[in-house]
Structure 1
């Protein structure tokens, strides 16, 4: 049956070709798009005392005109009207732009109601709306839509009103009655009406609750269907590893696994033994022992008669893993290294060993999945976070006829709500405890006037045989931001520390081979102080580095600061992180305070999410992050958890396909491009 809500938006009465083009520019192409183009915010013309008004907010005040309005003209047809208003025995200045006609309407002694932007410092309101007389006590909540092009707020309101009248019988319920009843949610038509034209805050709140749940449920159903489809498409992927050999290997390790490591390892091993392909994210703080879990999983895949691969972001990190895994496996496995630097005869030899299955474990950069690399029987691929195994890489492996188990590792502790949402098509394992005996990095927040002491402290640590990172946000001078930059800082520190202490420079604009060379020198202690931009947060393991100084620390999010802090504290020596910052706002000060109080990455990530929102967590347009119209992953995390549980139950019971009550919901789920496979790798 045809869904008339998919009709082009021009079918709504009163919408002509020009308005249709304007609506298209807002992403509104169909009637359904229009009905679900909810307001970005709501204006409530509510009179509040001056003491409760917030600087820069849109506010409404009422008072008596106490001075003759003064009108000045500037530019072509531009004017500025200003007058004083007596509000609660306080004189407030009112300014109106391009409202010259209002001069004749406003007289001294008139009572007026003004709405506009409030300037707390000047006691001034820049007026956007005004009316003579007192404010109406029953003033409605006004929807304000996100607009661009030539479409006005009034046009959208009118178009939505007409569409609701014309198509309301076609706007059918998609949630089963039992869910509406259990969660006390309004019906779909009623909720759409209240989102656009709420009579009061209560009905708006319930309409938002309804669409928050609906969005999360649809998303979770799609993600879990996708996960199920991916799993079932790789049936026959079981790795029959030798459990006793793996147990002996674990017992022979020079350390004991933590409870969190053991739990994560069990989850990984269960996936490897299952008939479906593993698609798992292993997340844990820096130093929590992810690599140990990875090494055991690689050993298990060897005992199953298959090859294993570990893909990391940089050559130097690949070399470090190669050395440590060679020591760990000794004669139990053949470990080879494949990076861009492995050339000539050695490269041919390595490629031959991989093809002949003489190589059990292959460590390298993305060179591992290039055309010339032919695996004989690849069972497990482990990927470091900076090479989030994308669609293209998965396709490359599939084209080679390979469907290995895939384990992603990330040292960015991702809050549970984000992990559920961004990685909805993956299983997630968490290592949330640190190995015993590991020294915590001491963190201090200092202002710029203490820089001399900080630089002296670095020299003291270097004199004791240690090394230091000094990180700052920009590479070169910026007109926009007064931030210490890496090049200038490098030059300053060279002058301060030379010739006794070697200072190096590292930033994103350096060619890859130069970056590698700088990091090699730092790892070898040929450079004692490394000035860097944030490229160093992914990098190399330098156990000798004991100091991390971060300039303009208020410019970074908590998670990024924590990642940077994780570069030190990798050896036996006590390590230190010094945040140089002078944040102006309360949020910035709060972030610095939190950093000095906890080294728990998961606690920090939750706080970061509250303070900054999910956009900054993965970058503004991270491909894995869905955009919801109403739902907010941070504030609505309980609804997200509920929707996830409900989605699991619906799919497990087969209700989506078999129960007619779920028919409308199923249409929305199965019509999605991702679920249909149109954008699937």
Structure 2
């Protein structure tokens, strides 16, 4: 048997069972060895019935004293009860819907029962214990693994398969950590860790195996991200000559904060370095990240390069396009728009204008990643709302550059005669896309240079995120990026007042909605997001639609109530949000599709129904949809959940507007898996490490990875080849990351 042996080669795994195992991602013996238990059962100690500690799982040896009794309580509910005894006391066992027990437990036979003992010596009992005959015990006296399961796969099946795999293949697991690293950090070898994580001899062995696997996981991930960062920062980036930022600040209708100035200076240093910038700008809602992006695009324009910004929704792309065009037009910059809903003819004109260099700054959605999009001289990629654009999307747009090392005079032509002065500017950044065909021969020059094998210039990449990430999580999530933090809000901005109310205050809340609208304002009402499971999604959709209809017909018949949800067609969703932005709708009922959406300064009220169903960071993002104008804004969290933990969690939102503090609390309460799912950021999931509890190991692993890569930047030494292969496997779902 080898690591790549399919599980169908193991006894007891037929086609049906193989399909069930595949749902868990298990196809080969190697997959099984890497499928770690979620918990362990300690069956190493036996207790007499009278001495067994209460409310903790234990092993008890006892004899069946009578024939098990089966009772049918109602349809679908059967109880089997049986009395067992040892030399110290008697105990009653109760089994729910396990009628096979009546034949499996033989009176007079000794068994070992594992479960929680309840009650006192006068009436001890166990519910649904697992058991095995005393003379045929396989599991008693051992620490047993408990695996995550799925339909058709029992824990006994997985444990049996894992035992066979460990016995025959643990010795084949490659040692990916160098010997000096194992010694320096007192880490267990790979084979020992593989055996002990599944079937530990004792809890000390289990602790050693866990520590090694946590370290190895964080070390491998850190090494992979460092390699990625190294490759991105390697090579040449467009060099934007230093310019006086005061010229840009003169374009702004406000005075930038010190945090904005600091961040723009950090970006300017990257842009002038001649190496590709890979920087994350992290700032709370309303901190002014878009101004930083505009500054970088302006620097690109001043140096003869184009810029592109990806936005997660069409309406947000249009909003950015309008505001950026108004801001940058006085500097002579032409801002264009490219979205999926544009007509084919409009798209063709944009494609031609981008390739001709007649658009200096294009704002778009995923449409920028598809179709015949080609730039004349793309020097800067901006990804707005990082969560929605993972590593692959950023790389895909950067790859659209295809820009060889063009001579600087070509860039100067883009700023001068090559632009085609007869072309009208993009009105409001949305219409009148430039169509002039003057290319100054640079497309041909670019192709010729590429054919000669000239060095390719990598565009700078700027990522913007309005969701503050806890520092421990940021070390992993953004390990491939430099990070700038805008930790100031513009002065004079009114903080959003947040309140937590129960169902009993609903009529009063509706009255407050009406009062806000009477004052000329607008309101969002957010309902729990529609689930991805078809049945749950259908039920959720029905509830949201019925809720919106009830508001319109029964509560606010004289007002206009709009509806937006994730199952709507894109054009209908965009139309509903645009109507709200224009003030045609008073109230917008929405699922969390509004979380990243249009900026409506007139919206002053955010109501979140069933607020306990959201994470704190998500609620903070929703709250950020209001408070964008000059009027006082409110966020009302509606929840009837009386759990002390839930009330304390929601109270965090009431007490603070600091996104970073909220993010830290969210991480503590929900853990990294729920806080920031893998599907969003595109990085490998952590199977062993817990970023709440393993921060010290994370620092050790990151430092060790940095030291190793400083000595062997490409992991090309023979002793580091297994590590490089593991890094590649870890990122195998994102192969472009290491191409």
TM-score when scaled to structure 2?
A: 0.77
- Paired residue secondary structure (1:287): coil
Contact 1:288-1:431 within 8 A present in 2 as well: yes
Residue 273 (structure 1) aligns with: 272
1:461 aligns with 2:516: yes
Residue 227 (structure 1) aligns with: 229
Displacement of 1:394: 4.3
Contact 2:238-2:379 within 8 A present in 1 as well: no
Residue 189 (structure 1) aligns with: 191
Give the gaps of 5 or more residues in structure 1: none
Residue 309 (structure 1) aligns with: 308
Aligned length: 664
2-side partners of 1:151 and 1:470: how far apart? Answer: 43
1:401 aligns with 2:456: no
2-side partners of 1:546 and 1:454: how far apart? Answer: 14
Of the three residues 502, 505, 508, the one matched with 2:566 is 508
Per-residue CA deviations over 1:268-313 (Å, capped at 9, x if unaligned) read 2233223333333322221111111111111111111112222323
Displacement of 1:458: 1.0
Displacement of 1:542: 0.9
Residue 431 (structure 1) aligns with: 486
Contact 1:379-1:404 within 8 A present in 2 as well: yes
Contact 1:53-1:59 within 8 A present in 2 as well: no
Alignment map for 1:297-376 (pairs within 5 Å): 297-340=296-339, 353-368=353-368, 371=371, 374-376=374-376
Per-residue CA deviations over 1:646-666 (Å, capped at 9, x if unaligned) read 212211222774766646545
Displacement of 1:603: 2.1
Residue 143 (structure 2) aligns with: 141
Displacement of 1:546: 1.1
Contact 1:656-1:662 within 8 A present in 2 as well: no
Displacement of 1:621: 4.1
Displacement of 1:126: 1.8
Of the three residues 39, 42, 45, the one matched with 1:41 is 39
1:452 aligns with 2:453: no
- Paired residue secondary structure (1:613): helix
Displacement of 1:62: 8.4
- Paired residue secondary structure (2:129): strand
The alpha-carbon distance between structure 1 residues 301 and 627, as it changes in their structure 2 partners (threshold 3 A), is same
Cα RMSD for the two superposed structures: 4.5
The alpha-carbon distance between structure 1 residues 452 and 207, as it changes in their structure 2 partners (threshold 3 A), is same
- Paired residue secondary structure (1:519): helix
Residue 215 (structure 2) aligns with: 213
Residue 588 (structure 2) aligns with: 530
Moved more, 214-223 or 619-628: 619-628
Moved more, 141-150 or 668-677: 668-677
Residue 443 (structure 1) aligns with: 498
Moved more, 352-361 or 442-451: 352-361
Displacement of 1:481: 7.0
The alpha-carbon distance between structure 1 residues 611 and 302, as it changes in their structure 2 partners (threshold 3 A), is same
The alpha-carbon distance between structure 1 residues 674 and 67, as it changes in their structure 2 partners (threshold 3 A), is closer
1:630 aligns with 2:674: no
Moved more, 625-634 or 64-73: 64-73
Alignment map for 1:75-114 (pairs within 5 Å): 80-83=79-82, 94-95=94-95, 97=98, 98-101=100-103, 104-105=106-107, 113-114=113-114
Of the three residues 554, 573, 578, the one matched with 2:612 is 554
Residue 621 (structure 2) aligns with: 563
Alignment map for 1:44-63 (pairs within 5 Å): 44-45=42-43, 53=55
Displacement of 1:407: 1.8
Contact 1:285-1:413 within 8 A present in 2 as well: yes
The alpha-carbon distance between structure 1 residues 130 and 611, as it changes in their structure 2 partners (threshold 3 A), is farther
- Paired residue secondary structure (1:530): strand
Contact 1:258-1:433 within 8 A present in 2 as well: yes
Contact 1:472-1:484 within 8 A present in 2 as well: no
Displacement of 1:85: 7.8
Per-residue CA deviations over 1:435-494 (Å, capped at 9, x if unaligned) read 333222111111111101111111111222221111112569969979993222222222
Give the gaps of 5 or more residues in structure 2: 404-457
Residue 8 (structure 1) aligns with: 5
Displacement of 1:588: 3.0
Contact 1:62-1:114 within 8 A present in 2 as well: no
Per-residue CA deviations over 1:511-541 (Å, capped at 9, x if unaligned) read 3333233222222222221111211112111
2-side partners of 1:114 and 1:229: how far apart? Answer: 54
Residue 240 (structure 2) aligns with: 240
Contact 2:315-2:598 within 8 A present in 1 as well: yes
- Paired residue secondary structure (1:569): coil
The alpha-carbon distance between structure 1 residues 434 and 65, as it changes in their structure 2 partners (threshold 3 A), is farther
Per-residue CA deviations over 1:67-117 (Å, capped at 9, x if unaligned) read 985235899xx985214689999986622621114664269xx99854269
1-side partners of 2:711 and 2:30: how far apart? Answer: 30
Residue 653 (structure 1) aligns with: 711
Alignment map for 1:151-162 (pairs within 5 Å): none
